[in-house]
Amino acid sequence: MNSLVDPVFVKDRDHRWVLFNDAFVALLGHPRDKLIGKSDYEFFTKHQADVFWRQDELVFETGRENANEETLTDAAGRTHVLVTRKTRWIAPDGKMHLVGVIRDITEEVLAVETNKRSEERLHRAQRLESMGNLAGGAAHDFNNILTAIRGCASLLLDSLPAGHPSRVEAEEIRLAGERASVLTDRLLSFSRRAVGLDRPVDLREIVKGMTGMLRRLLAADVELTLEMPKTVGLICVDPGLVEQVLLNLVVNAGGALPRGGRVTIEIADAPYGGAGVCGPGVRVTVRDDGIGMTDNIRRRIFEPFFTTKERGSGLGLSTVADAVRRSAGGVTVESALGKGAAFHVFWPAAAKRSARGKTAKPKALPAPGKGRGRALVVEDDDAVRRFSVRCLEREGYEVLSAGDPAEALRIAEANEGLFELLVIDIVMPQMHGPELAERLRGRQPGASVLFTSGRRREDCGLPEGGREGFLAKPYSAIDLIEMVSAARRGAGGPSRRVRRPGPARSRRTKS
């Protein structure tokens, strides 16, 4: 028997071990002399021993061989998953015995469970990616709509004299468009397609704007409190990344409060040292009074797919770490079992202090211009194209427009060398904006180029510091006018080329 690598045992009719090999002794972890003549009830739990007894008795009574998957706890407290094949054997003296041959499949079961968990995590990640793609696509389309809504509202306000009764409604439309833009930014942040323009922001304003949504994410028995000073230093970040960090930290804190409790968001000026920057900074802390975590768990919480939750994706805190890193910040965590957890996120302070709650007024449109030259607008969204044409016409441009790249190329060919400005959407059917711009430059070599998109500049493949301008959607009339002026300055100002004679195509907006 000792030549067999698998554990083997023999029991008598009273279910007591009378013979076994060394592998069986090693499996149970008890000395040989303490096993001989003993039964399962003296080494295993009653539940385990009852299972073994019923299976053994079935073999004794029927004489039929059987194989069962069983769990066994050894002397060290380790649980093994076993497949035991049991056979009845009648000795020469007529006594009945049971012979069992055991195969330990613990490692195989663990490997299967590990693979299953990995597949589940992959499927969750794929679902999240699909949701992100859906959110990003919906937000991109919505940005086109918002560009038309906000832009036309600003043009309408500009056309109405002070005191006109319709100005109130026009201003409400403009403000509603701005609020919708905030929601779109959050969708884009979730999909990781946010425009991502860093700008000085007040953390208090971001937290206040998210409070309603954050409270809805927490259970009814969880209280959300805010602790913020009257003034705090500005930080220069993409607000979408900050919202992403706060959203995941608050959801994580709520998950640590299965029986209710409190989540606190604290904001304070604090020294910052990280990402190669040392000096003043701003700290936001998300604190809970929940179950806390061990040191081993705390060291791994920012790893992708690491989770202690049965249905968790393990991506929430890794998303936080990635967003903080992308915004040149730092994150630390304090926690102990039964004492809750506190996540501290630091960002370096911007140069200027906060404006003490003052809201910037929207810029007024400059006086209409004239004689700016000729412009070509290429945009596949009808409403955005019509709005852009109106803005440029107000600036004094003679504007032609196209709804797709093919039409733009036909217009450029018919008006060779006659355009000072090209305004091109980046994401279009048939051909993307940068490729179209290169082809148009063959016909319009001196034209300035301004790209527009609802995506990041870098996500569109445009390098920073390039000669083309870039304008993120949704944009207002003043945004478009200012970026057109910047693009023209970057190209050396208006062209002084002598126009070639020849008919120009009639001005129109594709609808």
Q: Looking at the structure, do residues 337 and 427 belong to the same domain, yes or no?
A: no
Q: Looking at the structure, do residues 379 and 474 belong to the same domain, yes or no?
A: yes
The distance of Cα 285 from the centroid of its chain, to the nearest Å, equals 20
Q: Looking at the structure, do residues 338 and 386 belong to the same domain, yes or no?
A: no
Q: Is residue 439 part of a domain?
A: yes
Q: Looking at the structure, do residues 431 and 340 belong to the same domain, yes or no?
A: no
CB neighbour list of residue 136: distance below 8 Å, 6 or more residues apart: 187, 188, 191, 192, 193
Which CATH number is 269's domain given?
3.30.565.10
Which CATH number is 45's domain given?
3.30.450.20
Q: Which domain holds residue 396?
A: 373-490
Spatial contact of 20 and 40, defined as CB atoms under 8 Å apart: no
Q: Is residue 452 part of a domain?
A: yes
Q: Is residue 378 part of a domain?
A: yes
Q: Looking at the structure, do residues 217 and 340 belong to the same domain, yes or no?
A: yes
Q: What distance in Å separates the CA atoms of residue 68 and residue 46, rounded to the nearest whole number?
A: 18
Q: Looking at the structure, do residues 299 and 378 belong to the same domain, yes or no?
A: no
Coil vs helix vs strand at 162: coil
Q: Tens digits of per-residue pLDDT, 273-305?
A: 655 556 788 999 999 999 898 888 888 888 776
Q: How many separate domains does the chain show?
A: 3
pLDDT confidence of residue 8: 94
Q: What is the largest CA-CA distance in the chain?
A: 121
Which CATH number is 410's domain given?
3.40.50.2300
Q: Is residue 195 part of a domain?
A: no
State both tokens at 172: 């409400």
pLDDT cut 70: percent of the chain above it: 80
Q: Looking at the structure, do residues 97 and 238 belong to the same domain, yes or no?
A: no
First to last CA, the chain: 88
- Give the residue from 104, 139, 172 where a domain finishes: 104
Q: Tens digits of per-residue pLDDT, 299-343?
A: 888 877 667 665 555 567 877 888 788 778 889 999 988 889 999
502 phi-psi bin (left φ>0, alpha ψ -120 to 50, beta other) = left
Is pLDDT larger for residue 353 or for residue 393? 393
Q: Looking at the structure, do residues 280 and 395 belong to the same domain, yes or no?
A: no
pLDDT cut 90: percent of the chain above it: 35
pLDDT > 60? residue 501: no
Q: Looking at the structure, do residues 312 and 228 belong to the same domain, yes or no?
A: yes
Burial 161-195 (b: 16+ CB within 10 A, else e): eeeeeeeeebbebbeebbebbeebbbbbbbbbbbb
Q: What distance in Å separates the CA atoms of residue 126 and residue 123, rounded to the nearest whole number?
A: 5
Q: Is residue 251 part of a domain?
A: yes
Q: Is residue 346 part of a domain?
A: yes
Q: Tens digits of per-residue pLDDT, 132-189?
A: 666 666 766 778 888 888 888 888 888 888 888 888 888 888 878 777 776 676 566 5
What sign has the CA pseudo-torsion 305, 307, 312, 318?
negative
Q: Is residue 123 part of a domain?
A: no
pLDDT confidence of residue 196: 53
Q: Is residue 322 part of a domain?
A: yes
Is pLDDT larger for residue 246 or for residue 466? 246
Q: Looking at the structure, do residues 317 and 412 belong to the same domain, yes or no?
A: no
Q: Looking at the structure, do residues 302 and 379 belong to the same domain, yes or no?
A: no
Q: Looking at the structure, do residues 381 and 479 belong to the same domain, yes or no?
A: yes
